[in-house]
Amino acid sequence: MSSKEFFVNRYKELGWTYKELQPKPSIRINTMNSDRDDVVNRLESLGVTLEKIPFLEDGYWISKSEFSVGATAEYLLGLYSIQEAAAQIPATLFTELQDKTVLDACASPGGKTVQLANLLNNSGVIVALDIKRRRLFPLSNQLERSRVRNTIVYQMDAREASRLNMKFDRVLLDVPCSGNYVTDKDWFSRRSLKDVERNARRQRQILTEAVNVTKDNGEIVYATCSLEPEENELNIDWAIGTLNLQVEEIKCHGEKGLTNVFGRELDSSIEKCKRIWPGQTQGFFLCKLRKQACG
């Protein structure tokens, strides 16, 4: 059995039929720097056709453009960011971000860091981590271009975030994952179940450390662009049982999280998570967790 057949059969077992898809390019307007309608008008005057993404406040699909939207003055001025539609969801799941202390634990290339700064309206403090030094350069460029003012960047493994000696109100875990075939045409030939399991282990380590640096009653948003349940529902099931976390209801695009995975019954609260099978967007998984107060 080929790797592709193996994974496609798994998706079928989980209730979804594989289909070939092309990712739709999309942008997110940085409303801290600009007025939404003004940016839309400016892009349309350049000949770009935009389509509002119905489940996102500031997101637009690029229906037609004769040139790269990453090479306009408006982009270079930080009036919008190029960000895949599903990837725009995680940062919007937090409540009351204004003035909060937020950790973006796996931040590069910085699309979600900029989005968090936007949602915080440059208030509070964002700490953005990435393990690899070379990935801090594009992250810093994004912050400068997008006129972000409230972020500190460190080269640090998210699994060592306790070294910061800080406690956070909100933690974004856009964890390193296996990805999915929509954004990587060689995905099936490059991935095996072993990779998925290795990533799942690392994700559990990151989740564990995230709990250590989250304040009581603080929120953790866990997100992957993987379709594999080991990195998603199974990790959350483990976290509920091990880390004293509670899954919170979220209202966003996507289907309920799976509570039965390959015959294994999971905690019923996992249906509050969202699983996005590829379609209008790439594949994604989203979960909002609350750290319960001790005692």
Partner 1 sequence: MMKAIKDFVGQFRASIALDKRLIVKKKNRYYLLSEKLKKQIQQDFFYAGVYLGKLKGSIFFPSFLLLTMMAEGKANKIVVDRKTAWLFICGRDIFKQGILEADGSRKGDYTLILNEHNECLGFGKILRNIRKEQDPNKVVVKNILDIGDFLRREKQQSRQR
113, 142 in Cβ contact below 8 A?
A: yes
Q: Applying CB under 8 A, which residues contact partner 1?
A: 70-71, 73, 76-77, 101, 124-125, 127, 133-134, 136-141, 143-145, 147, 149-155, 164, 166
Which of 138, 279 has the CB closer to partner 1? 138
To the query of whether residue 225 is one of the catalytic residues in this protein, the response is yes
Give the list of residues 6+ apart from residue 225 with CB closer than 8 angstroms, or none.
86, 87, 177, 179, 180, 183, 282, 283, 284, 285
Work out the widest C-alpha separation in the chain, in whole angstroms. 59
Beta strands in the chain (DSSP E): 26-29, 49-52, 59-64, 80-82, 101-104, 125-130, 151-155, 168-174, 214-224, 245-248, 255-256, 260-261, 264-265, 274-276, 284-291
What are the two backbone dihedrals, phi and then psi, of residue 168, each rounded to the nearest 5 degrees?
Answer: -115, 145
Shortest spacing between CB 281 and partner 1, in angstroms: 24
Tokens 């208030």 label which residue?
A: 123
* Catalytic pick among 106, 177, 225, 287: 225
Q: How far apart are CA 147 and CA 203, in angstroms?
A: 31
Least gap, CB of 236 to partner 1 (angstroms): 30
Question: Cβ 141 to partner 1, closest distance in Å?
Answer: 6
Separation of alpha carbons 11 and 15, rounded Å:
6
- Are 105 and 159 a contacting pair, CB within 8 Å? no
Of 156 and 252, the one with the shorter C-beta distance to partner 1 is 156
Q: Which is nearer to partner 1, 63 or 121 (CB)?
A: 121
Q: State the nearest-atom distance from the C-beta of 128 to partner 1, in Å.
A: 8
Nearer to partner 1, 117 or 289 (CB): 117
Closer CB to partner 1, 9 or 68, in the complex: 68
Nearest to 128, CA basis, from 154, 146, 147: 154
Question: Would you state the structure tokens that stand for residue 22, as one six-digit string?
Answer: 């092309």
Catalytic residues: 225
